[in-house]
């Protein structure tokens, strides 16, 4: 077989993801909080982008200035204020110190360090205590073995143990524990509820207690199921994560609604939350400079590139707004009964249905609803909440899974806790109401709602 070199032309169609298209897709799926961060980054990189800031008109400023002038008696002012330009302040400067308005939330480690430093211990023991505190996580648990700490600090194991016991006596109760059992035992000891019976339950039967296996514990310890139930109720009042009441280094992220659904009279209106994102425009100075510059200069090429980038960003944000408005309006049209009657009126809905209705791709709907929230008369909901699978009723209508979950929850809330209803019984009750559902589906929905099985819900009266 001979080898040869040659040129061959081939024509084919191929979808290419340009950087601009990637940016548009990214902007569509970003929630308001993250979109603001992206805009701030672009403002720093692109001089062509400007924020539109609301300013007072000249008439308003003149009017405000005249009102201020009328309120001040300048002659009296200069008679009593002759120290320096700007007038004399009679209030305490400390009251206006900016540091007074900065809120500092104390962390768990700072709280423990403070207690350690006011404890009467030798300097070398404080060094051990400081190292132990640094090894405690945000939940309040010690994450390093004390043998390893003793080896690193070259100290006696007994000294490290003693300092650990000292830290375990600090507030919050249970801090410095190495596992859940030790955390609970520390709290029970400080509350004077620690005895041989409680010790056996915590260290030998904690898993049985969590799973309501009261009969097994009763047989082992010789106490009634009612007493074991009371012990469990008391243990549930303890704090399994003592450190979580303190501030952490993690940023707190608040939910900002991307859209509002408001009822005005008998109609519902969709309003996109434009106030959550800053308004952008092209910088007038650089735009004028671009017109004056020679088109072949480096400055002109740079400004033209930044202008195109700015225009695409503004266009992508506007397209995101339009897509979000259309998607929320379509959801409102399908789920209008939900806003009138509640969860039970929620209808089955898929991304594909909305995509076909708006004549866009299903992935576009998915990106538009991902991480977005809407404020409604019924409360704040993620847009994904309105998309549900359905179960057919005897009448042939489809009912949303969220509505069925709500019915299951109501049935369980009304049950006799001494004789909890089984999943099969719940399925039978729903069938009597015209909803075709299996026991397995009931168990699935119950687990998704975080509701325990009937054996674990049983209580002894």
Reading the block at residue 402, the tokens are 């969220």
Whether residues 232 and 117 fall in one domain: yes
Is residue 135 situated within a structural domain? yes
Residue 176: left (phi > 0), alpha (psi -120 to 50), or beta?
Answer: left
Is the sign of the CA dihedral 47, 50, 51, 53 positive or negative?
Answer: positive
CB-neighbour burial class of residue 238 (10 A; exposed 0-12, middle 13-18, buried 19+): middle
State the Cα angle at 441 between 438 and 443, rounded to 5°.
110
pTM assigned to the model? 0.63
Reading the block at residue 226, the tokens are 């009612």
Is residue 92 situated within a structural domain? no
Total domains in the chain come to 3
Is residue 68 situated within a structural domain? no
Instruction: For residue 299, give its domain range.
Output: 259-388
Whether residues 146 and 220 fall in one domain: yes
Q: pLDDT (tens digit, 9 = 90+) per residue, 137-151? A: 999 999 999 999 999
Is residue 102 situated within a structural domain? no
Which residue positions in the chain have pLDDT lower than 50?
56-58, 60-61, 64-65, 67-72, 74-75, 77-91, 93, 96
Q: pLDDT (tens digit, 9 = 90+) per residue, 240-270? A: 999 988 866 555 567 888 899 999 988 999 9
Whether residues 374 and 424 fall in one domain: no
């Amino acid at each position: 077989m001979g080898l040869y070199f040659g040129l061959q032309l081939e024509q084919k169609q191929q979808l290419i993801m340009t950087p601009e298209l990637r940016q548009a897709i990214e902007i569509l799926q970003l929630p308001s909080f993250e979109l603001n961060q992206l805009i701030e980054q672009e403002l720093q990189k692109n001089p062509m982008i400007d924020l539109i800031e609301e300013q007072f008109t000249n008439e308003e400023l003149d009017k405000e200035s005249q009102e201020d002038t009328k309120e001040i008696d300048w002659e009296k002012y200069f008679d009593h204020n002759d120290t320096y330009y700007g007038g004399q302040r009679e209030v305490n400067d400390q009251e206006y110190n900016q540091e007074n308005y900065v809120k500092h939330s104390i962390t768990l480690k700072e709280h423990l360090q403070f207690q350690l430093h006011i404890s009467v211990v030798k300097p070398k023991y404080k060094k051990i205590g400081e190292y132990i505190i640094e090894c405690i996580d945000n939940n309040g648990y010690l994450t390093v073995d004390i043998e390893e700490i003793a080896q690193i600090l070259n100290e006696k194991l007994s000294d490290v143990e003693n300092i650990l016991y000292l830290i375990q006596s600090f507030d919050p109760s249970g801090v410095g524990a190495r596992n859940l059992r030790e955390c609970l035992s520390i709290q029970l000891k400080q509350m004077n509820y620690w005895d041989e019976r409680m010790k056996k339950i915590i260290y030998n039967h904690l898993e049985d207690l969590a799973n309501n296996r009261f009969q097994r514990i009763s047989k082992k310890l010789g106490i009634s199921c009612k007493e074991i139930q009371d012990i469990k109720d008391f243990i549930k009042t303890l704090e399994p994560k003592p450190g979580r009441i303190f501030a952490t280094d993690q940023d707190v992220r608040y939910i900002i609604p991307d859209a509002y659904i408001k009822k005005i009279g008998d109609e519902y209106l969709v309003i996109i939350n434009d106030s959550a994102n800053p308004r952008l425009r092209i910088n007038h100075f650089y735009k004028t400079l671009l017109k004056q510059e020679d088109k072949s200069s480096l400055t002109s090429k740079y400004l033209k590139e930044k202008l195109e980038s700015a225009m695409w960003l503004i266009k992508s944000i506007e397209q995101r707004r339009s897509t979000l408005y259309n998607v929320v309006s379509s959801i409102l049209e399908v789920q209008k009964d939900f806003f009138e009657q509640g969860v039970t009126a929620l209808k089955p809905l898929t991304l594909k249905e909305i995509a076909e209705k708006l004549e866009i791709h299903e992935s576009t709907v998915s990106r538009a609803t991902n991480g977005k929230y809407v404020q409604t008369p019924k409360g704040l909901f993620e847009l994904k909440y309105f998309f549900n699978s359905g179960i057919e009723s005897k009448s042939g209508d489809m009912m949303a899974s969220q509505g069925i979950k709500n019915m299951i929850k109501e049935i369980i809330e009304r049950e006799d806790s001494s004789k909890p209803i089984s999943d099969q019984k719940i399925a039978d009750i729903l069938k009597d109401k015209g909803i075709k559902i299996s026991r397995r589906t009931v168990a699935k929905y119950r687990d998704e709602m975080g509701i325990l099985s009937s054996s674990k819900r049983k209580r002894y009266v």
